[in-house]
A and B are shown apart, each in its own frame.
Chain A
Amino acid sequence: MSARSTRGLLAALCAAVALGGCGVGAGDGPGAPVGLAVTRDFGERALIEIDDAKVAGADTVMRVLRRNATVQTRYGGEFVQSIDGVAGGRRGGRPVDWFIYVNGSLTDQGAGAVDVHGGDRIWWDHHDWGLTPDVRAVVGSYPEPFVHGDAGKRLPVRVECADPNAGACKVVADKLIALGIPIGRSNISRSAADDTLRILVGPWSKLRGRDAEAVAVDAGPRASGVFARFDASGEELAVLDPRGATARTLRAGSGLVAATRAKDRQPVWFVTGTDDAGVASAARALEEGALSNRYALAVSDDLPIAVPARAR
């Protein structure tokens, strides 16, 4: 091989390395603090909660966990077996395992393949997945994904209301604006772009059937990952336990804050209720403190109820 062709080959190799995201060292670190939560039983019991987790360079979700917790892995370090001694497997005859949410969305890759970005909130939860392993979106990382978006990219946010003049619609919009999030407001739309984060606000009777994600919620936890169901009239809200059984039935004045996600689309949040009073309660509950580590939140008489409810 001539010197000229060798130089050309080296130049091509360097270009390929540079374009392929390769480099020497750990890479640039995230510019903003990364939050890490490790919980059990759908967020019921917190094992670790760190607002500013230890991160070095361009870490992955797995490395952030390993820097901040005692972890045992399997399959060559790609999958977590146990965190702080809590292991996946079976409990009481039911399958349990660790699930990862980054900014409120279930990751579809191994933790070693997911990059961490500034401001991300990483949530590991150990729970029963006998009913469904596919709870694709949760509200417990609020105000994410609205502030930092997905994979380091901020996303457009739209508040869609059944009645744009309703008080609850204004409350939700004002809360997001207060967080510095530019939002758009509109009626319920059927033609949302896939990369838009949407919050649907209104009584369930007016949201029902208006959207593919709303149809999924009516189809139950297996379809939507939301462990709550409204009755046919939309005036009763059943809060389900992890096995899908009704744990509580809420009536007039009850609200629900929940999220779901269709394949290849961004999450859709619901701020809804059995009636206008219930929607207003749900809108008031749209707070970091109330939603923290919740898969979804029901509100009855302004009292928060974790969703899914604890199994009896």
Chain B
Amino acid sequence: MFHVRRASPLHAARAPVAAAYAAALVTAVLAFENPLVLGAIAIAIVAAAMLAGVGRMLLRAALFGVPFALVIALVNPLVADQGLTVLLRLGELGPLGRLDVTGEGLIFGAVLGLRALLVVLAGGALLGATVDADELLRGFRRISVRSALTAALAVRLVPVLGRDARRLADARRCRPGATPRPGAAERLQIVRAVTTGALDRALDVAATLEVRGYATPAAKGGRRHLREPWSRHDLAFAASATGLVVLACGARLLGVGGFDAYPLTVVATGPSEWLLAVAIVAVAILPFADRRGVLR
């Protein structure tokens, strides 16, 4: 929803490919618990965002994601009692029973928090900032026209409703005696006005779509487009996404990047793990090396 066109190879790739690239990064995050490998994936995500010119958006998403990651990191040692290195004995806490904070619980909590943050960054920020949702949904229309239409309308209408809310808030402030910040009752009034507006708008949109013939069976297939040949950026990011998934699955099958959280934390940091880390970063950022044909 905050997609902005930038002069970058990732933006130059077609939307499904760019989305697959982000999904491959998420797959890699979900495949590993090894902090070394997760660190490499974090570097890959940050580097990809910066090379795509959306580093600031990634930072903004991180500001939202870090508190959630911290909550996960702090809750885990309180609920997981499987570690052996006791750092803090909190005694008997009623129905929770005996509560000991262990080093292993803290480490695994940090790993879980990092994974959650990386999923937010790759699957939320990077995907949202580099993939044109409309283009992606156009591709989806071939599979299910109704679902694609619903999703497209939702994507389009949410920013419109946000602007509606801001306008209503501005109007409220212009009234005599209004305070700079609305109280709870005033907030409720704005939400009610926006919701009413949204329902009215939905009726208008439905009527417009009907008039334009979207309800007729002929519209289901959509207009036929000539197939665009794949660009070098399409091919590069598709190869990168495939490479990331192959690396993740291959490493899991071969037992590379192992991590045991309990009872004692064991992190595999051998040459194969370092090689895997370097490979993930390289595969993820190599497509950015070719900037030919990128609009400036």
Q: In the bound complex, what is the Cα–Cα distance between A26 and B87 (angstroms)? A: 6
A21 partner, pick from B79, B84, B92, beta carbons under 8 A: B92
Q: Is the Cβ of B87 less than 8 Å from the Cβ of A25?
A: yes
Whether A27 contacts B89 in the complex (CB less than 8 A), given A67-B263, A77-B262, A113-B98, comes out as yes
Q: Indicate whether A185 reaches chain B with its CB closer than 8 angstroms.
A: no
Q: Is the Cβ of B92 less than 8 Å from the Cβ of A63?
A: no
Chain B residues positioned under 8 Å from A252 (CB to CB)? none
Q: Indicate whether A73 reaches chain B with its CB closer than 8 angstroms.
A: yes
What is the CB-to-nearest-CB distance from B83 to chain A, in angstroms, rounded to a whole number? 9
What is the CB-to-nearest-CB distance from A245 to chain B, in angstroms, rounded to a whole number? 39
Whether A76 contacts B80 in the complex (CB less than 8 A), given A27-B86, A58-B89, comes out as yes
Please, which residue of chain A has its CB at the minimum distance from the CB of B86?
A: A26
Q: Indicate whether A232 reaches chain B with its CB closer than 8 angstroms.
A: no
Q: In the bound complex, what is the Cα–Cα distance between A62 and B98 (angstroms)? A: 12
Q: Is the Cβ of A22 less than 8 Å from the Cβ of B90?
A: yes
Q: Indicate whether B229 reaches chain A with its CB closer than 8 angstroms.
A: no
Whether A112 contacts B91 in the complex (CB less than 8 A), given A26-B85, A67-B263, A71-B263, comes out as no
Residues of B86-121 contacting chain A, CB below 8 A: 86-92, 97-98
Please, which residue of chain B has its CB at the minimum distance from the CB of A69?
A: B263
Q: Is the Cβ of A77 less than 8 Å from the Cβ of B84?
A: no
Whether A113 contacts B263 in the complex (CB less than 8 A), given A56-B84, A58-B89, comes out as no
Q: Indicate whether B81 reaches chain A with its CB closer than 8 angstroms.
A: yes
Q: Indicate whether B27 reaches chain A with its CB closer than 8 angstroms.
A: no
What is the CB-to-nearest-CB distance from B95 to chain A, in angstroms, rounded to a whole number? 12
Q: In the bound complex, what is the Cα–Cα distance between A62 and B80 (angstroms)? A: 13
A sample of 28 cross-chain residue pairs with beta-carbon separation below 8 angstroms, ordered by A number, consists of: A20-B90, A21-B89, A22-B91, A24-B87, A24-B88, A24-B89, A25-B86, A25-B89, A26-B86, A27-B89, A56-B84, A56-B85, A56-B86, A58-B86, A63-B84, A63-B263, A66-B262, A66-B263, A73-B82, A76-B80, A76-B81, A77-B80, A77-B82, A77-B262, A110-B97, A112-B97, A112-B98, A113-B97
By a beta-carbon cutoff of 8 Å, the part of chain A in contact with chain B is 17, 20-27, 56-58, 60, 62-63, 66-67, 71, 73, 76-78, 110, 112-113
By a beta-carbon cutoff of 8 Å, the part of chain B in contact with chain A is 79-82, 84-92, 97-98, 262-263
Name 16 extra pairs, CB < 8 A, besides A24-B88, A26-B85: A20-B90, A21-B91, A22-B91, A25-B87, A25-B89, A27-B89, A56-B84, A56-B86, A58-B89, A62-B81, A66-B84, A66-B262, A77-B82, A77-B262, A112-B98, A113-B98
